[in-house]
A and B are shown apart, each in its own frame.
Chain A
Amino acid sequence: MRVEIVRVEITVNGQPHSREVEPRLLLVHFLRDTLSLTGTHVGCDTSSCGACTVMLDGVAVKSCTVLAAQADGCSVTTVEGLGGPDGLSPVQEGFRQCHGLQCGFCTPGMVMAATALLTERPDPSEQEIRDGLKGNMCRCTGYQMIVESVQWAAANGGAR
């Protein structure tokens, strides 16, 4: 069996990467296995849970539903690309202050989805937060403290 290969050029968290990959390789596995950026998680195989949420050219996508080949020429931001040496982003800090995470497995995807939401709606209502994050599942928190985390972030710097 001959394995086909495609070349992709993807910028991840500001760093350009050029790799040869199988056409079927999912973006999430490109990030995790090829680039060793393991902050993006895999929680399901039906695009239901959102643990793999990243930003693709500024738009939140589930990276288990995108082929690495489709992201050719694109810019990806993962959870590792938020915040910086000086500390957490407002969304990350909001989750810390309001106990928006327990086991932490859904958290990177949740944080990326929340960041995308606040980019579009800097001051969302509770209903808008719940609507905006409905594609991300958490089994630990029951969601209310995630809502509060996003509200904290909105009041303390937003999507930065």
Chain B
Amino acid sequence: MIGSAVPRKEDAALLTGRGTFVDDIHRPGLLHMVYVHSGEAHALITQIDTEAARALPGVVGVWTARDFAELPARPSVPGLERGYLAGDKVHYVGEPVAVVVATDRYLAADAARAVRVEYEPLPVMATVADALAPDAVPIFAPLESNLALEQQVTPHDVADELDASPHRLRARLVNQRCAGAPLEPYGVLADWTGAGPTIWATVQAPHRVRAEIAERFGLARHLVRVIAPDVGGAFGVKSSFMPELFLAPELSRRLGRPVKFVETRGEHMVHTYHGRDQIQEVEVGFDDEGTILALDVTLTVNTGGVPDPVGIALATLTSYMLGGCYRIPKIAARFRSVVTNTTPTASYRGAGRPEASFLIERVVDLVARRLGKDPADVRRVNLVQPGEMPYQTPFEGIVYDEADYPAALDLLLDRLDYAGLREEQERRRADPGAKLLGVGLSTFVEMGGFGPTPLFEQFGYIGGWESANVRLQPDGSAIILVGTAPHGQGHQTALAQIAADELGVPFEAISVLYGDTAVVQEGIGTMGSRGMPVAGNAVRQAAADVAAKARLIAAHMLEAEGDDLVRVEAGFQVKGVPTAEVSLAAVAERSFKPHLLPAGTGLGLECTSYYEPSNLSYPSGAHGCVVEIDRETGHVHVLRYVCVDDCGTVINPMTARGQIHGGVAQGIAQALYEKVSFDADGRPLNASLEDYMLPGMLDLPGYETHHIETKSSFNPLGAKGLGEAGATAAPQAVVNAIVDALAHLGVRDVEMPCTPERVWKAMHHAS
């Protein structure tokens, strides 16, 4: 079944409106929780008047920060503990300052509007520049300045190497702030019954959430049950520890009734954490051929008003991936994470790695432009060669697995008809009536398959492994429990395909369950493109162990040795004796008959495996974008988007294609449309889907997808992961295409999102 484009097991329920998302769940006596959010970006709270709100019909209560003072802080950067609601001051617009519970969601919203909060405004620092200015005041106590973290990622500098380089250039690149904006906003339903709570939540790591909730409430973990039901997209933003994960169970405990919180979209845009928002200052040294000799990078990350433990250090991952798929001998990297009066930032699809790929791919194009060379040629002279794999990067522990980067680039150029496009570009440049044509390349590599444990522990997880339990039923069908928590990736389908091959059980006779801490053994979750490279291997291993035990029982039933059996469609057969056959169903049933089993054989056919990857995996590929630009308006139209991806073993080509499409769509959207903006007073300028440019059907192109399949030797399945590759590859493919179209006008860069206004200005002010 591996490699088969089988339709998904998930779909029947989702297509008929019978999915179970958090807001679909009702419990008797359900109460609704709503926040009062700050409308100020930086201010002292002088008074909160809840009296009018409490008097409204259906209102059960109104609570402020002091009511939760006994609750230990949310998971935080050590020393920078954050509470649940703003206490004495607010740090950004959208920060929750009070919480209202009522019998109905309309009444709760009425009451939230009736809460009167009085503020004493403080100076607002909505940008990194303002927050680091000499007269800036510290935003987040106990930090004494707004520089929350400054890290030298590499111990050395590359000043000597840059001095020795025949050429050098500098660039300042901006990777703007984006909103994850899954179609289902964040939601939590908590019901504290008896000794502990059950929490249904839109999360990516239910066991980790259980651990954090149990710790806050001083409970043993068996008393806390966390369920991630159907989750309507996440893209990393549902991995942050939002206050509602803790407030809903606490209020359920106090009130003795279930409490539900579901974000509105307007709330999502200011309350759920954003991603990216990185300024990149780069200097690169290179020779006449474009060979890159040294790279010096300073990253500045806007962490927002309340530092998030993941967000504050995501630039570490950016740093590790700065070399891209190139042989760059010396890299120096450092980063700063800066507090500003904006919504906090944390993970968003790719989480730190797209920023790196954007940086190095833009730099390679700048080098090519400076030397007057073709960007494809400059890539070729720098690409790590297949014979050099596994490739040790300049960063300790960052070792790329098997791949053929030059082959991916060659396939891309072939599929693009690169030479033909260059001719067409020249023809159009000469014709004032024609739209300008540009071709952008992005030869990318990113990290997937998160762990292993020593790395993933740094992000607060108990491990970087994943778990799977494979259990045959007495009729030979199988149930698999896996520790991931997917939200669209199709794990029910892909993991069943892997198990079907190992077990010899038909795909249709396998069910995959996940996302419930009371049902599934300890697990890690879904993030960092780890589904297939980590969980896939756990399933494979558990299924193989079950199959091995089934073989022993079958051998006993056929009075043969295990080695003498061969697998046949129905089950097992004695080699060369077609009549000596036993079905897997008969073997499964026999496994529950203790008196008929070989001596010393335990009952049942079941195995739990924990798979710890030996390292990260490194999905890679080459993407190309062809744009045309209207000379009058600066409007960019994506004519073609061509992908060559190497994610190692492809489990399901159809869902793999879906992952690439979705990632590329988000990458194109970052390049052309999306940016979370604030005015100088820290007020959000696009906190709704009317104002934030989430692309629709008419805004995105068709995608042409191709694969190179180089199996990773880092895991038995040979899979590398695919969830984040598109989002990593696409922004710079688009921007490189736009700059390429305008290069003859002297344009060197266009900042994302490349709106018609920005492109037009670049066209008219370049020289």
B592: interface (CB < 8 Å): no
Docked-complex contact B696 and A137, CB < 8 angstroms: yes
Instruction: Determine the chain A residues whose CB is within 8 A of the CB of B761 once the complex forms.
Output: none
Docked-complex contact B488 and A104, CB < 8 angstroms: yes
Instruction: Determine the chain A residues whose CB is within 8 A of the CB of B106 once the complex forms.
Output: 22, 24-25, 29
Instruction: Determine the chain B residues whose CB is within 8 A of the CB of A83 once the complex forms.
Output: 16
The proximity string for B residues 654-688 relative to A, scoring 1 for CB distances below 8 Å and 0 otherwise, is 11011001101110000000000000000000001
Docked CA distance A40–B694 (Å)? 21
Contacts A131-B698, A145-B661 given; indicate if A46 touches B689 (C-beta within 8 A).
yes
Docked-complex contact B703 and A144, CB < 8 angstroms: yes
Q: Most B CB atoms within 10 A — which of A1, A99, A141?
A: A99
A51: interface (CB < 8 Å): yes
30 pairs, CB–CB < 8 Å, chain A vs chain B: A3-B57, A32-B23, A33-B105, A37-B17, A38-B24, A41-B232, A42-B23, A43-B184, A45-B264, A45-B266, A45-B688, A46-B265, A48-B265, A49-B265, A82-B16, A83-B16, A95-B15, A97-B7, A101-B11, A101-B15, A103-B183, A103-B231, A104-B14, A105-B21, A130-B698, A136-B696, A137-B696, A139-B235, A139-B666, A140-B662
By a beta-carbon cutoff of 8 Å, the part of chain A in contact with chain B is: 1, 3, 22, 24-25, 29, 32-33, 36-46, 48-49, 51, 78-80, 82-83, 88, 92, 95-97, 99, 101-108, 111, 129-131, 133-147
B464: interface (CB < 8 Å): no
Docked CA distance A48–B7 (Å)? 30
Instruction: Determine the chain B residues whose CB is within 8 A of the CB of A136 once the complex forms.
Output: 696-697
B373: interface (CB < 8 Å): no
Contacts A143-B665, A143-B697, A145-B657 given; indicate if A39 touches B689 (C-beta within 8 A).
no
Instruction: Determine the chain A residues whose CB is within 8 A of the CB of B18 once the complex forms.
Output: 39, 80
Q: Most A CB atoms within 10 A — which of B11, B14, B697?
A: B697
Q: Most B CB atoms within 10 A — which of A36, A82, A139?
A: A139
Smallest beta-carbon distance A93→chain B, Å = 8
Contacts A137-B696, A141-B662 given; indicate if A103 touches B17 (C-beta within 8 A).
no
A-facing residues in B685-741 (Cβ within 8 Å): 688-690, 694, 696-698, 700, 702-703
Selected contact of A102 from candidates B17, B488, B697, CB within 8 Å: B488
> Mostly helix, strand, loop or mixed at chain B's interface?
loop
B419: interface (CB < 8 Å): no
Docked-complex contact A48 and B689, CB < 8 angstroms: yes
> Across the two chains, which residue of chain A brings its CB closest to B696?
A134
Docked CA distance A140–B655 (Å)? 11
Docked CA distance A140–B18 (Å)? 19
Docked-complex contact A49 and B697, CB < 8 angstroms: no
Instruction: Determine the chain B residues whose CB is within 8 A of the CB of A131 once the complex forms.
Output: 697-698
Contacts A22-B106, A140-B658, A144-B702 given; indicate if A43 touches B183 (C-beta within 8 A).
yes
Docked CA distance A96–B24 (Å)? 22
Instruction: Determine the chain B residues whose CB is within 8 A of the CB of A40 once the complex forms.
Output: 17
Docked-complex contact B488 and A103, CB < 8 angstroms: yes
B490: interface (CB < 8 Å): yes
